[in-house]
C-alpha cells in the first residue's frame, strides 16, 4: 500500500481534510513558505525589522511542521522507495530529448538539475535563479502555492484566487516559453 502512489481520489481528500482540521483543532493555516522567515528570525537576530517578532509564538508550530515534512519525505524516499524507474510518457521523453535532456534516470533530469549542470548557464538559471524567483514570489504573494491553493481557496480568499491564477499562468509561461528557450 505504501510502495505505490495513492490515487488522486484518496490523496486529494486527505490533503483537503488537513485544512479544516488544522484550522479547527489548532487555529492554524496550512502553508510552508513562512518557515524560512521564522528560521531567520530565530537564528539571525539583528536590526532588520522584518525578523523582529515573537517567532516562538507565531512560528514554532510551523517549524515543527516543516521538520515533519522533511522527516516524512526521508521516510517515504528511504523506507518506501519505489525501485521502478519514474514513468515518463514517450511523447514527453521525445519532447525533452529534442530540448537536450538525455538523462531520465532520476526524479529530475540531471542534465538540468545536478552539480555538473549547476556550472552551466542553463543549470544556474534553473536552480539558483529559479529558486530565488520561487522564494521571492512566494513571500511577495503572501504565501506559497500550497498555502494559497489549499488554504486560501478553501477559505474563499480573493487574493488566493488571484495568486493561484498567477501561479498557473507563470507555470504555463515557463513551461511553454522559458524552458524550451533555456534548454
pLDDT digit string, tens, across residues 2-16: 667 788 899 888 888
- Is 2:80 a contact under the CB 8 Å cutoff? yes
- Burial of 54-80, coded b for 16+ CB within 10 Å and e otherwise, reads ebeeebeebbebbeeeeeeeeeeeeee
C-alpha cell at 124: 544556474
- Is 152:69 a contact under the CB 8 Å cutoff? no
CA–CA distance, 64 with 157 (Å, rounded to integer): 26
Q: What is the CA radius of gyration of the chain?
A: 19
Q: What is the pLDDT along the chain (183 residues), one digit of tens a residue?
A: 666 778 889 988 888 888 788 888 888 877 777 788 888 888 876 778 878 888 888 778 888 888 998 999 898 888 877 777 778 889 988 988 887 888 887 777 777 777 777 788 877 887 888 888 888 888 788 888 777 888 788 778 898 899 889 888 988 998 888 877 776
CA–CA distance, 7 with 146 (Å, rounded to integer): 19
Amino acid at each position: 500500500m505504501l510502495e505505490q502512489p495513492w490515487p488522486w481520489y484518496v490523496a486529494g481528500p486527505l490533503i483537503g481534510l488537513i485544512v479544516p482540521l488544522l484550522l479547527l483543532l489548532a487555529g492554524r493555516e496550512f502553508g510552508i513558505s513562512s518557515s524560512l522567515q521564522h528560521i531567520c528570525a530565530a537564528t539571525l537576530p539583528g536590526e532588520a525589522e522584518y525578523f523582529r517578532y515573537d517567532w516562538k509564538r507565531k512560528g514554532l508550530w510551523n517549524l515543527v511542521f516543516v521538520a515533519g515534512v522533511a522527516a516524512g519525505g526521508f521516510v517515504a524516499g528511504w523506507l518506501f522507495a519505489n525501485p521502478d524507474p519514474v514513468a515518463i510518457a514517450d511523447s514527453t521523453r521525445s519532447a525533452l530529448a529534442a530540448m537536450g535532456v538525455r538523462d531520465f534516470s532520476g526524479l529530475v533530469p540531471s542534465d538540468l538539475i545536478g552539480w555538473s549542470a549547476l556550472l552551466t548557464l542553463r543549470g544556474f538559471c534553473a536552480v539558483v535563479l529559479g529558486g530565488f524567483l520561487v522564494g521571492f514570489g512566494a513571500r511577495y504573494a503572501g504565501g506559497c502555492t500550497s498555502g494559497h491553493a489549499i488554504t486560501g481557496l478553501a477559505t474563499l480568499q480573493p487574493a488566493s484566487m488571484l495568486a493561484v491564477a498567477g501561479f498557473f499562468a507563470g507555470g504555463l509561461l515557463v513551461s511553454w516559453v522559458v524552458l524550451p528557450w533555456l534548454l
